[in-house]
């Protein structure tokens, strides 16, 4: 069985436009791990051209582990679960 990860739900809040001179980075944090899905929070953060800190956008996603042949949910593979937990504090 080949296991993949698909987006089950996504919600994005665009808080501020990004301009060419802005310095933007992406940050990702896992906030929940369930049996067949996990939640990610993602942020676009950085400084505008004047050097002021901002959150430009934030996103919440539910990612679902699926059998790629049947597209049915399956348990999050242990190696993925361990990697998500390993990065939890970062």
pLDDT in tens, 37-86: 999 999 999 999 999 999 999 999 999 999 999 999 999 999 999 998 88
In the numeric block, which tokens belong to residue 65?
């582990």
The domains of the chain, with CATH numbers, are 3-86 (3.10.129.10)
Beta bridge partners of 10: 61
pTM value?
0.84
- Report, in this order, helix, strand and coil percent for the chain, each rounded to 5: 10, 55, 35
What phi and psi values does residue 6 have, to the nearest 5 degrees? -125, 160
Q: How far is CA 72 from the centre of its chain?
A: 21
pLDDT score, position 59 = 98
15 pLDDT band, cuts 50/70/90, is very high
């Amino acid at each position: 069985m080949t296991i993949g990860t698909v987006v089950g739900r996504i919600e994005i809040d665009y808080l501020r436009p990004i301009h060419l001179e802005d310095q933007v980075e992406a940050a990702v944090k896992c906030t929940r791990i369930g049996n067949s899905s996990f939640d990610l929070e993602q942020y676009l953060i950085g400084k505008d051209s004047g050097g002021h800190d901002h959150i430009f956008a934030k996103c919440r996603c539910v990612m679902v582990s699926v059998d790629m042949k049947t597209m049915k949910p399956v348990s999050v593979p242990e190696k993925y679960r361990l990697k998500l937990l390993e990065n939890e504090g970062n």
